[in-house]
């Protein structure tokens, strides 16, 4: 039983953690739209109201109402209502969308992913690294304590593992402040960080999280970078105005202008944060007048890595952690 559980757990950790296939749902105006994920949480990629196709939602409609296929407007309300939930549905005529093309019969076209949580388990006294590569960590639940007899129990006397109602109250806050929106973080399962919620019990740190996609934007010197979020607000993860390779933005440039590859404007991240963070979009010129010139004579470019995040404390975080905890408890007794 114990080995089976560990085996399943490692299979789970290996298999999950990335976005699963993209789903698309079309709903004619007035009907009910339902988004759902068998496992994981909804993350809406786009939600469009209008008509870009003449055949869908055309049955029984006069020709005139289906011929305009240049009509679309985005519906942020759908991501606000559905992101972070495992299922959500609504009647489309209750959404109150303003009419982007009067006289055309419209439909809702929503594209979403199901984001899968990863689990990390660390036995008391150990360390673990959460790593999302180029993406960023979003914590959905965390507990330091014990809710299961078998996890982190090998070779221990049973009195150390029998209390399975053990929770350190500030685990989530502490893990969020160490890891959220970072590319990787190291966690230590210790009383010194989380306090001891059940003296005499051998504990473990259980964390579930997912990797939120991040975007890389590259803009050659003299042009302007446009950073945009369809849902959420901009968070700058890293940025540099300068040159770190000889191929990016090199077309038609003399060798002398592209051979220096260790050029960094140290104020880039601060400047980008000031101009972009917390907004839904921003335009920043990739010029010396914005960042000053870190390497005179070199043709430079602006690189910005950013993510679209929802405001901390926003419904998303709460819903995501509720459903993650529920899913994981049910499936893995965690």
Ligand X SMILES: *[C@@H]1O[C@H](CO)[C@@H](O)[C@H](O)[C@H]1NC(C)=O
| Contacts to ligand X by CB under 6 A | 26, 46, 48, 52-53, 56, 109, 111
Strand partners, 307: 214, 235
Minimum CB separation of residue 179 from ligand X in Å reads: 32
Nearest CA to 132 among 36, 219, 237? Answer: 237
Cα separation values, 8 from 11, 108, 155, Å? 5, 39, 20
Of residues 11 and 32, the one with the C-beta less far from ligand X: 32
With contact defined as beta carbons under 8 Å apart, do 30 and 13 qualify? Answer: no
Nearer to ligand X, 75 or 136 (CB): 75
Shortest distance, position 47 Cβ to ligand X, whole Å = 9
Report DSSP state, residue 117: P
Q: Give min distance, CB of 172 to ligand X, in A.
A: 35
Residue 66 beta carbon to ligand X: minimum distance, rounded to whole angstroms: 12
Contacts of 317 (CB under 8 A, 6+ apart): 84, 138, 310
Q: How far is the CB of 111 from ligand X (least distance, A)?
A: 5
- Shortest reach from residue 52's CB to ligand X, in Å: 4
The token pair at 215 is 């975007």
- How many beta carbons lie within 10 A of that of residue 266, not counting itself? 12
CB 46 to ligand X: min, Å: 5
Residue 82 phi, psi (nearest 5)? -105, -30
Q: Which is nearer to ligand X, 25 or 295 (CB)?
A: 25
| Closest CB to ligand X among residues 81, 106 | 106
Cβ closer to ligand X: 53 or 262?
53
Q: Distance between CA atoms of 332 and 324, rounded to whole angstroms?
A: 11
Say if residues 73 and 101 touch (Cβ distance below 8 Å).
Answer: no
Pick between residue 80 and residue 111 the one whose CB is nearest to ligand X. Answer: 111
If the CB atoms of residues 28 and 193 are measured against ligand X, the closer one turns out to be: 28
**Residue 207 pairs with which residues in a beta bridge?**
120, 142
Q: Are residues 166 and 195 in contact, defined by beta-carbon separation less than 8 angstroms?
A: no
In degrees, rounded to 5, the angle at the alpha carbon of residue 197 between the alpha carbons of residues 169 and 332 is: 75
Cα–Cα distance for residue pair 179/172, rounded to 1 Å:
10
Closest CB to ligand X belongs to which residue? Answer: 109
Q: Is 123:152 a contact under the CB 8 Å cutoff?
A: yes
């Amino acid at each position: 039983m114990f080995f089976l559980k560990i085996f399943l757990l490692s299979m789970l950790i290996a298999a999950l953690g990335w976005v699963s296939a993209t789903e698309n749902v079309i709903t004619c105006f007035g009907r009910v739209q339902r988004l759902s994920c068998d496992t994981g949480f909804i993350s809406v990629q786009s939600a469009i109201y209008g008509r870009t196709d003449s055949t869908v939602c055309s049955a029984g409609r006069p020709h005139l109402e289906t011929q305009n296929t240049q009509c679309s407007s985005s519906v942020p309300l759908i991501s606000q209502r559905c992101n972070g939930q495992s299922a959500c549905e609504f009647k489309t005529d209750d959404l109150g969308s303003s009419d982007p093309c009067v006289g055309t019969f419209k439909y809702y076209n929503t594209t979403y992913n199901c984001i899968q949580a990863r689990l990390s388990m660390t036995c008391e006294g150990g360390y673990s690294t959460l790593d999302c590569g180029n993406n960023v960590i979003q914590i959905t639940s965390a507990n330091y304590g014990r809710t299961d007899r078998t996890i982190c129990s090998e070779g221990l006397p049973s009195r150390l593992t029998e209390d399975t109602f053990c929770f350190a109250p500030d685990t989530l806050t502490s893990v969020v402040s160490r890891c959220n929106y970072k590319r990787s973080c190291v966690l230590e399962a210790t009383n010194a960080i989380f306090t001891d919620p059940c003296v005499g019990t051998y504990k473990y740190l259980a964390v579930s999280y997912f990797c939120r996609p991040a975007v890389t934007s590259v803009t050659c010197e003299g042009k302007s970078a446009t950073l945009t979020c369809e849902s959420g607000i901009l968070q700058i993860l890293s940025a540099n105005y300068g040159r770190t390779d000889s191929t990016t933005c090199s077309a038609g440039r003399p060798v002398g202008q592209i051979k220096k590859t260790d050029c960094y404007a140290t104020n880039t991240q601060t400047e980008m944060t000031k101009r972009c963070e917390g907004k839904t979009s921003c335009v920043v010129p990739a010029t010396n007048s914005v960042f000053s010139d870190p390497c005179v004579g070199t043709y430079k470019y602006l690189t910005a890595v950013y993510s679209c995040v929802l405001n901390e404390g926003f419904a998303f975080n709460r819903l995501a952690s509720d459903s993650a905890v529920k899913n994981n408890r049910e499936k893995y007794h965690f």
